Amino acid sequence: MFLFRSFQSSGEPQGPQGDAVSASGAFARGLRAALNSVFVYVLVGTYIGYGALSHDLGFSLLWAELSTAVMWAGPAQVIVVSTLGSGSTLIQAAVAVALSSMRLLPMVVALLPLIKTPRTRYRHLLLPAHFTAVSVWVEALRLVPGLPREHRIAFCNGLGVGLMSPALLATVVGYVLASQLPTLFAAAVLFLTPMSFFVSTVRNSRQLVDRLAFALGIVLTPLFAFAKFELDLLFAGLVAGTLAYGIHRWRAARR
Amino acid sequence: MTTTVRELGPYLALLLVGFLPNEIWRWLGIVLAREIDEGSEVLVWVRAVATAVLGGVVAQLVFSPPGALATIPLLIRMSAVAGGFLGFVIARRSVFVGVLGGEIVLVLGDLLWRL
């Protein structure tokens, strides 16, 4: 028993029988949560559009599928297919993708402390971090606090697989249908991203600090962009988030 | 430095231009999250920054949208966000109704605009 315990604390993923069973149970719960999530519709629409766009810009179906699996970030994927077709330089395209995907950093930092345990190693966090995109992040932050800590990583992986699979399928559907889709449809599926980001973030923002941060982010980012500020998204986000946090601290101190 | 992405071939380009500059943020996040615990005050600030950046992404996608979305006038794009938010509030914070409402305003708005 003692040996077994020390074996466990060495961070091996293989737990005792009961743990293994409930870990797969947590994975299945994540899958179910994914399929019940409104993001299934959002992702299917978005990736039908993405599949069609990849087809129109001359990429193979395999490439389109692979890009969804390895990137898993809608706005950045749209940038990649657009720049790859346009003859931009490598650096320009990579910088555009990096700027767009910067949002993933604070999202991962905000999620992982909720799902890791003292025994968790880096390699166990690679998959949940890879699945972190707005869809998974929003649902995980909402649902994970109700789960036992040792099952949260498995739950997040189930959530990720459950949301990525419909997206991969939708990429194929969009790719096949591409030529039959009207421009208005393409515009409508591109609009799914900002609209779903908006309402799902507001739904998750139960505290004043989050609502304030969101509103300030919306207002400040165009101002920073208008001032021709490079890295506008990063700086506006840092300023808006820090301002909201400062107000939160100030209010807490006054109480 | 002036290599175009087209010269690289699609799969190498996906790795260098798609995967790496995207995934690097997630890896960096894993490293930075190491020292932070669930109850810590830093987490409140990090979540505020993440939420603010999401607000910024929404603003970017609405004000300077990619591809086909740019064919729809700004006024209609903004009305669609407002309409979606209204639907979300009326339907007691339903994300589904919010997204559906926004899409309806966007599509109907564009069709009426083109009449």
Residue B103 to residue A191, Cβ atoms within 8 A = yes
Nearest to B53 by CA among A231, A143, A142, A38: A231
Summarize pLDDT for A152-177 with one digit per residue, the tens.
Answer: 999 999 999 999 999 999 999 999 99
The pLDDT of residue A146: 93
Nearest to A80 among B17, B38, B52 (CB): B17
pLDDT value at residue A11: 39
> Of chain B residues 9-38, which have a CB less than 8 A from chain A?
10-11, 13-14, 16-30, 32-33, 36-38
Tens of pLDDT along A120-130? 999 999 999 99
| Nearest-angstrom CA–CA distance, A31 and A226 | 42
Per-residue model confidence (pLDDT) at position A238: 92
Q: Of A142, A199, A171, A144, which Cα lies nearest the Cα of A43?
A: A171
| Confidence at A220, pLDDT banded by 50, 70, 90 | very high
Give CA separation, A211 vs A38, A202, A242, B28, in Å: 21, 7, 13, 26
pLDDT in tens, B4-27: 666 678 899 999 999 999 999 999
Q: Give the pLDDT confidence score for residue A254 in this predicted structure.
A: 87
pLDDT bracket for residue A8 (50, 70, 90): very low
Residue type, B92: R
Residue A141: predicted pLDDT: 94
Chain-centroid distance of CA A126 in Å reads 14
Residue A35 near chain B (CB below 8 Å): no
**Comparison of pLDDT for A82 and A146, the residue scoring more:** A146
* Mean pLDDT of the region A47-76: 95
CA separation for the pair A83, A85 (Å, rounded): 5
Q: Are residues A237 and B49, on separate chains, in Cβ contact within 8 Å? A: yes
Cβ within 8 Å of A, B 36-65: 36-38, 40, 43-65
In this prediction, the answer to ipTM > 0.85 reads: yes
B4: β partners:
A89
CB contact at 8 A, A118 and A151: no
Considering only CB atoms, A98 lies closest to which of B11, B21, B44, namely B21
A201-227: average pLDDT: 91
Predicted confidence at residue B35, as pLDDT, reads 85
Instruction: Choose among B22, B30, B64: nearest Cβ to A97.
Output: B22
Residue-averaged pLDDT of chain B: 92
Residue B38 confidence class, pLDDT cut points 50, 70, 90: confident
Q: What pLDDT score was predicted for residue A230?
A: 64
Residue B61 CB partners (closer than 8 Å, separation 6+): A75, A190, A193, A194, A197, B69
- Any idea how long chain A is? 255
| Tokens of residue B88, six digits | 């979300």
d(CA A240, CA B53): 8
With tokens 């994975």, the residue in question is A27
Longest dimension (CA), chain A: 65
Mean pLDDT of A172-183: 92
**What does DSSP assign to residue A16?**
-
More confident residue, A65 or A224: A65
What is the pLDDT, as a whole number, of residue B25? 96
Q: Is the pLDDT of residue B113 over 70?
A: yes
Q: How many CB atoms lie within 10 A of CB A81?
A: 24
Rounded Cα gap, residues A138 and A121, in angstroms: 24
The pLDDT of residue A9 is 39
